């Protein structure tokens, strides 16, 4: 019996302790600046950056959520909170479903290893079993169009080629919850077309998508719900048609 895929946050807060900052150099009141989280001091006199504050929302099966906000508003921190990298310092986070994070698709890649070896490395980090990669290795090789370079060390690749490989491997996951930081767009014009198709296929198979973006066109096209973050708090939460005009203007 399948449990419904969902993400439920209740008053979730993320406070980063800064150990080598001097609390005495801060002004007494909380500083509000144009970008960034809220800097303050906690009860022990320790400098703390409150990256996210009192987040309360629930994502359901079928939600395509867009995160918008200025630099430093907390979008990436929220993505990491969603993926489980950070536990909230207060409040609760309850996630039901398998998560895959496509935030940094080159993470874990070893430049000295061959393309083929890196596929297994990258795939393993994403949570794929060896057998699953074995079954799809030919498909990945064909898709990335790297030919004989597959058996060459990655350091011999151009940046574009490295990204193609990272993209090809990262998009064979089939998670229930998918997290992205900006839409993945790699390769030259010709490659981009098939990359678009592949990414759309992936997104369609997931139950919940959460994507952070600065692009109005993207969030209006892909998302059915927008969350506007400012200084770590939810400023607006609703349909793109309602939220986008307020944030982007007009």
Binding site for another protein (CB under 8 A): 16-17, 80, 83-87, 89, 99, 101, 103-104, 107-108, 110, 112-113, 120-121, 124-126, 129-130
Q: What is the C-alpha separation between 35 and 49, in angstroms, rounded? A: 12
Find the angle CA(65)-CA(39)-CA(35) to the nearest 5 degrees.
50
Phi-psi region of 183 (alpha: psi -120 to 50; beta: other; left: phi over 0): beta
Closest CA to 215 of 177, 184, 175, 176: 184
CB of 42 or CB of 192, closer to another protein: 42
User: Least distance from C-beta 182 to another protein, angstroms?
Assistant: 15
Q: Can you read off the two tokens belonging to residue 82?
A: 């969603």
User: Least distance from C-beta 145 to another protein, angstroms?
Assistant: 25
User: Least distance from C-beta 19 to another protein, angstroms?
Assistant: 8
User: Least distance from C-beta 144 to another protein, angstroms?
Assistant: 20
- For the CA atoms of the chain, what is the radius of gyration? 20
What crossing angle do the helices spanning 115-126 and 159-170 adopt, rounded to 10°? 40
Q: Can you read off the two tokens belonging to residue 242?
A: 């309602």
User: Least distance from C-beta 245 to another protein, angstroms?
Assistant: 33
CB of 98 or CB of 145, closer to another protein: 98
Q: What is the C-alpha separation between 164 and 71, in angstroms, rounded? A: 27
CB of 55 or CB of 99, closer to another protein: 99
Q: Can you read off the two tokens belonging to residue 219?
A: 């969030």
User: Least distance from C-beta 12 to another protein, angstroms?
Assistant: 13
CB of 104 or CB of 193, closer to another protein: 104
CB of 154 or CB of 244, closer to another protein: 154
Q: What is the C-alpha separation between 125 and 91, in angstroms, rounded? A: 29
Q: What is the C-alpha separation between 238 and 225, in angstroms, rounded? A: 5
CB of 7 or CB of 126, closer to another protein: 126
Q: Chain-centre distance of CA 102, in angstroms? A: 6
């Amino acid at each position: 019996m399948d449990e419904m895929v969902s993400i439920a946050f209740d008053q979730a807060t993320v406070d980063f302790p800064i150990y080598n900052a001097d609390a005495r150099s801060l002004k007494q009141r909380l500083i509000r600046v144009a970008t960034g989280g809220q800097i303050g001091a906690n009860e022990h006199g320790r400098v703390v950056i409150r990256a996210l504050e009192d987040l309360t929302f629930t994502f359901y099966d079928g939600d395509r959520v867009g995160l918008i906000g200025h630099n430093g508003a907390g979008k990436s921190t929220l993505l990491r909170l969603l993926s489980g990298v950070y536990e909230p310092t207060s409040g609760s986070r309850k996630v039901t479903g398998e998560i895959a994070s496509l935030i940094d698709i080159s993470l874990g890649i070893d430049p000295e290893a061959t393309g083929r070896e890196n596929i297994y490395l990258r795939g393993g980090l994403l949570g794929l079993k060896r057998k699953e990669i074995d079954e799809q290795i030919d498909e990945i090789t064909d898709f990335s169009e790297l030919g004989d370079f597959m058996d060459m060390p990655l350091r011999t690749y151009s940046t574009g080629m490295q990204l193609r490989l990272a993209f090809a491997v990262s998009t064979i996951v089939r998670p229930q919850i998918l997290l992205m930081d900006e839409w993945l767009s790699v390769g030259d014009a010709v490659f981009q077309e098939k990359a678009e198709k592949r990414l759309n296929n992936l997104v369609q198979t997931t139950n919940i998508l959460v994507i952070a973006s600065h692009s109005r066109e993207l969030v209006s096209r892909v998302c059915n719900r927008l969350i506007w973050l400012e200084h770590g708090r939810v400023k607006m939460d609703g349909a793109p048609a309602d939220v986008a005009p307020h944030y982007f203007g007009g």
